[in-house]
Amino acid sequence: MTKITNTRGIAKCVAVIAIMAFAMVALCACGPKEITVNVLDEGKSTEVSAHAGETVGDILSAAGIAVNEGDEVSPSLDSEIKDEGEVITIERMKKVVIAVDGKNIDVELLRGTVRDALEEAGVTLAEGDEVSPSLDTEITGEGLTVTVERVKSIVVAVDGENIEVAMVDGTVQDALNKAGVTLAEGDEVSPSLDSEIGDGDVTITVERMKHVVVAVDGENIDVAMVNGTVQDALDSAGVTLKDGDKVDVDTAAPLEDGMLITVTRYVKKPEPAASNNTSSRNSGSSSNKSSEKSIVSRTQVPNCSGDGHGYYEITWSDGSMTYEEY
């Protein structure tokens, strides 16, 4: 028995399979072409693979690059990338902390300087305030802290006047140096020299040590006190006033540097003897004359401060002494 083969049918089947294979190859060959895209994220460049026609959002998502709220992407996320080597730029929203007036203020901005961050935070600077980093510093990354040090108004009360100085920080000693105030031994300062200058207005008080001389009973007694009255100086010198003694300065007067306090002791004059006859009266008159005091010596004593002032120490014929300023 003879087997008849349908060669024409087989040929048709082969032809159909060949056409289908060609179509598939052609279809694959005509699909989206693969391209390389450059992603510039805050200046850092990364190359990623993509297909022509994909959107920026799809490309970034496929590359695992997250875009956060406030970040700026160019071209926009829904833009299609078609050509090899195109650049996608990402500018990140940056958080900046402003430390000012005892608190922290958080602000966010895409770009700018420290000055822009302060404006965003609503911080106004006064003359003399110090900012770190400087106002013109570019904000290039996350986590920058900007510190604002406020200038402080300081009053130094010294020698009867108020000296104003401005400082951002430092100690009381620094403020005195800036005010040109030199301290002498025994001067008292409040607050203490090593105290830090606090916030707000500050007053520094300098009490000068006052050197006075108490002239009494033929000697000069040096007394040093920061403050007090003439009576305080007499007490410090151990001088006790008796009935009739005189002080040439009001004992309630405040002390002044270089002051001379003169104490004149009371000396009771002898009473003349009584007489009933002329001779006795004449004798008494003569006796009265002889009992009148006269100056025996007059010694000039300069003030220890060397200011050209001082006093005279006067010795009388009856042995008493008085003092007279010049």
User: Can you say whether residue 276 is alpha, beta or left, with left for phi > 0 and alpha for psi between -120 and 50 degrees?
Assistant: alpha
**318 pLDDT band (50/70/90 cuts)?**
confident
- The residue among 207, 239, 273 that closes a domain is 207
Does residue 6 form part of some domain? no
**18 pLDDT band (50/70/90 cuts)?**
low
DSSP labels, 16-30: HHHHHHHHHHHHHHT
Percent of the chain residues past pLDDT 90, beyond the cut: 57
pLDDT at 287 over 70: no
In a shared domain, residues 134 and 202: no
How many CB atoms are located within 10 Å of the residue 229 CB?
16
Does residue 229 form part of some domain? yes
pTM: 0.53
108/121 Cα distance (integer angstroms): 9
pLDDT at 6 over 60: no
pLDDT in tens, 80-105: 998 999 999 999 999 999 999 989 99
CB within 8 Å of 300: residues ≥ 6 apart? 310, 312, 313, 326
pLDDT at residue 43, rounded to an integer: 84
Nearest CA to 51 out of 20, 22, 84, 21 is that of 84
Q: Domain of 156?
A: 152-207
The number of residues in the chain equals: 326
pLDDT in tens, 187-208: 999 999 999 988 777 899 999 9
Read off the CATH number of the domain in which 48 is found. 3.10.20.90
pLDDT at residue 207, rounded to an integer: 92
In a shared domain, residues 136 and 217: no
Dihedral, 243, 244, 248, 249 alpha carbons, nearest 10: 30
**8 pLDDT band (50/70/90 cuts)?**
low
In a shared domain, residues 135 and 46: no
307/326 Cα distance (integer angstroms): 11
pLDDT in tens, 56-80: 999 999 999 999 888 999 999 999 9
In a shared domain, residues 249 and 302: yes
176-191 average pLDDT score: 93
134-163 average pLDDT score: 92
**How many domains is the chain built from?**
4
In a shared domain, residues 262 and 232: yes
In a shared domain, residues 197 and 130: no
